[in-house]
Amino acid sequence: MIDRIENMERRALEEIDQATDTAALEEVRIRYMGRSGQLTALLRGMGDMAPEDRPRTGQRVNLANRTVTDALATRQRALQDAAAVVERLDITLPGRRPSIGRKHPLTLIREEVVAIFGEMGFTVADGPEIERDYYNFEALNIPANHPARDTHDTFYMGGDRVLRTHTSPVQIRVMELYPPPVRVIAPGRTYRHENPDATHAFAFHQCEGLYVAQGVSMAHLKGDLTYFARRLFGKAVKVRFRPDFFPFTEPSVDYSFSCVVCNEKGCGICKGTGWLEISGAGMVDPAVFGFVGYDSEKYTGYAFGMGLDRLAMFKYGIESIHMFLENDLRFLSQG
Ligand code: DAH
């Protein structure tokens, strides 16, 4: 008897589960709990049962009755809710707007750099990221086996192709194409075989600057870079030039901006030094003019590099260069 009750309960629960609308559910209810339903018949039959079996069997039938009643009610509610969702679908509502992306921090900084130098008369030049050894090194006065190549370890693409290690090759390409005077900047991606840390990555971004004309001097370089720094970071920023060496400039300097985050006191962004090294610069070496057929007796020029990732890190307080290429939306959607 107990087995019969349990089987019936199991079947009833299965059928309740399989009912996909309220009409089907009602049929199940009638089949088991209706006036001539199977469970109803069992409940009614209790009176005819031998008195010694009655308590146990009775208890089980009552339990089955409750279980099936509860399951019917629960399923009923679920089916009604689902129907309500369908009814609530208002097809006259306007569609969901696609979310609009934001500019990447490197795009923001590049646009600002281009705008400032644009006002100063610089146009934008471009060059390939897969560059020829000649433009990346040779014509910049860095012959094969020159020790300066050590700091530019890169990805060799086979033949004489390399992933450019700096934007300086664009200088050569511009001077090959145009006679002086030229005044260009060249922002773009660059590559080096680096050990990654907070400020070094295998792919990074630079902006090259080149101004060649008659009478261009170191004073122009200092003045223009200082003006640029003030436009980008405000009047309080100082620019420091220190002697350095680059094969394609003579004399050469490295230049830094004073840390506007901590006012030169030393902080995490400037690594406690109060200064941010931006890159190198100098007067274009006459040997470079030789490669592009410029008359170095008549023309002089200045050139500079600029680490765009660094500028963006400085300006927006970003602590790791790797965030630029990780595509984490939590980072990118702050702008
Ligand atoms: N190309 C150099 C680098 O990536 C930076 C640089 C130094 C660029 C001096 C220049 C320059 O134009 O004149 O390390």
Closest approach atom of ligand 1 to CA 248:
13
Per-residue pLDDT of the chain (335 residues; tens, 9 = 90+): 888 888 988 998 999 999 898 888 899 899 998 888 888 888 888 888 888 888 888 888 888 889 988 998 998 898 888 888 777 788 888 888 888 888 999 999 999 999 999 999 999 999 999 999 999 999 999 998 888 888 888 888 888 999 999 999 999 999 999 999 999 999 999 999 988 888 889 999 999 999 999 999 999 999 999 999 999 999 999 999 999 999 999 999 999 999 988 888 988 778 899 999 999 999 999 999 999 999 999 999 999 999 999 999 989 888 889 999 998 888 888 76
Establish whether residue 303 lines the binding site of ligand 1, counting it when its CB lies within 6 angstroms of any ligand atom: yes
13-40 residues labelled b (16+ CB within 10 A) or e (exposed): bebbeebeeeeebeebbeebbeeebebe
Could you identify the residue written with the tokens 């086996």?
145
**pTM across the whole model:** 0.72
Residue partners of 40: CB distance under 8 A and separation at least 6: 32, 33, 34
The CA-based angle 293-298-300, given to 5 degrees, is 85
Question: How is residue 195 written in tokens?
Answer: 């050990």
> Which CATH superfamily includes the segment(s) 105-332?
Bira Bifunctional Protein; Domain 2 (3.30.930.10)
Q: Are 1 and 9 in contact (CB under 8 A)?
A: no
Q: Measured between alpha carbons, how far is 227 from 262 in angstroms, rounded to an integer?
A: 21
* Geometric angle at alpha carbon 19, from 14 and 21, rounded to 5°: 165
96 to 27, 85, 209: CA distances (angstroms): 41, 18, 45
Ligand 1 pocket residue status of 188, Cβ below 6 Å: no
Backbone angles phi, psi at 36, to 5 degrees: -110, 35
Q: What is the DSSP letter of 197?
A: B
Taking CA atoms only, the protein residue closest to ligand 1 atom 3 is: 166
**Any atom of ligand 1 within 6 Å of the Cβ of 224:** no
In DSSP terms, 246 is beta-bridged to 249
Q: Show me where the domains of the chain are located.
A: 2-88, 105-332
Name the residue of 122, 166, 170 to mutate for ligand 1: max ligand atoms within 8 A of Cβ: 166
Q: Looking at ligand 1, which atom is closest to the CA of residue 302?
A: 13
Nearest atom of ligand 1 to the alpha carbon of 171:
12
Cβ of 141 closer than 6 Å to ligand 1, yes or no, is: no
Residue 190 Cβ < 6 Å to ligand 1: no
Report the atom number in ligand 1 closest to the C-alpha of 282.
Answer: 13
Distance 279 CA to ligand 1 centre (A): 7
Tell me how crowded residue 304 is: count the other CB atoms within 10 A of its CB.
23
Q: Which amino acid is at 308?
A: L
Lay out the sheet containing 239-246: strands in order across. Answer: 123-124, 182-191, 203-213, 300-304, 275-284, 249-258, 239-246
Coil, strand, or helix at residue 138? helix
User: What region, left, alpha or beta, does residue 232 occupy, with left being phi > 0 and alpha being psi -120 to 50 degrees?
Assistant: alpha
Atom of ligand 1 at shortest range from CA of 249? 13
- pLDDT value, residue 307: 95
CB of 168 closer than 6 angstroms to any ligand 1 atom:
yes
